[in-house]
Structure 1
């Protein structure tokens, strides 16, 4: 079963939303923590209410934060009229904050964090992708940074290590904040090359594993 929350729906509901698991007439299954995502806010130049969604799947054991418009372009950037403009450095960022609420008698820990992107960089071009995920009751954010060097045309991943899963207080809602910042550097000498890093590659940006326990 999969639950999807779009940022557009969040904004339409004054940035407070719930992701239903089934038609309104159906209640939560026995043994289901009945997870809801509320209080969603988006900030930054890399995401908007129309191109960001949050998907819960696999019995609430997987959360995907999906971007369909997070693309950073530098170098010979094309315009709508067919001309190009030389952009030596481009940056985009996105910060998503939300609250996970669930039934009393349940708690969860984050067990894995994986952020994917795709880089198309010419020789001499560079890029930097920094990712950070903060969840209530984690001692430190889950952070990772990738430095990319052209020439390359490939998928890359950020995967911070989680040494010990941390479970929150029983039944207590937890705030979740995910931040991605991408810089692309093409240099000061104009050329015909376009350098691009995108987070919408293969339909994702962040994939997180959650382990649920009764308490």
Structure 2
């Protein structure tokens, strides 16, 4: 039985497109795409591929708790095995995160634990970093602080701007996220005792590295 996936978006859905294009049809099915903003391009992307969509506008709710309760009710109607945040621009309540414990993923545009939060590309440039990248992680109550799964780095070059860096990082995101989704759907990826595990082996605190589509297994510690 395939893994049922619900994807949450707030915008154009470029990562959503990568997930739809690269989902292993024998392993998983994206059953719904949910946005907190009406009219965004990501919803149209999903509709073009015959995926059910729904909008739950956060501006219609008095507070974060009431919105997240309604969001849980909506998502659970699709009976998901996995919930994926793909540019979902909302800070989630602890109750929401707890409800989807060990089956909630996010991608962040930095080499976590560096640069949690916003403006990651500008912050990497201002710090004089030599590399930047993206990270897929399990979601916990700590913002961008859950166990790391997979990262990919790109070099920062002379003349880089936040916009140029963002575009190159996004290309790496499109490689990372579908791969992790397919791992989870295959039963290879799990969250166990607070640690991400691949094929039963704990992943190190810095995650696995994907470089030029190959893994650098030096990031995997001894079990």
Give the TM-score normalised by the residue count of structure 2: 0.25
Q: Give the strand-richer structure, 1 or 2.
A: 1
TM-score (norm 1): 0.26
Identify the structure with bigger relative contact order (alpha carbons < 8 Å, sequence gap 6+): 1
Computing the radius of gyration over CA atoms, which structure comes out larger, 1 or 2? 1
